[in-house]
């Protein structure tokens, strides 16, 4: 059990380091939408970007 927790923790740290690169890969299918201005998402809540970063990392 301890090994599993340590493995998840280490993988989360590694994914957090590369979260911008992972986010760009996930955004590739949405780049063709005309509703995206400057190919960027619009966040409607203050903590939304933090939540997305944590979801990508986990």
pLDDT given at position 39: 66
pLDDT digits (tens, 9 = 90+) for 2-46: 999 999 999 999 999 998 898 888 888 877 776 666 767 777 888
The reported pLDDT for the residue numbered 41 is: 73
DSSP string for the chain: -HHHHHHHHHHHHHHHHTHHHHHHHHHGGGGG-TTSGGG-----STTHHHHHHHHHH-
Q: Which residue has the higher pLDDT, 36 or 48?
A: 48
Q: What is the pLDDT of residue 26?
A: 84
The number of angstroms, rounded, from the C-alpha of 12 to the middle of its chain's C-alpha atoms is: 11
Q: What is the pLDDT of residue 7?
A: 96
**Does 55 have pLDDT greater than 90?**
no
**49, 11 contact by CB (below 8 A):** no
Of 1, 6, 10, the closest CA to residue 57 belongs to 10
């Amino acid at each position: 059990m301890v090994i599993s927790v340590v493995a998840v923790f280490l993988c989360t740290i590694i994914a957090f380091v590369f979260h911008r690169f992972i986010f760009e890969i996930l955004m590739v299918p949405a780049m063709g939408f005309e509703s995206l201005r400057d190919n960027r998402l619009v966040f409607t809540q203050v903590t939304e970007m933090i939540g997305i970063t944590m979801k990508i990392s986990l």
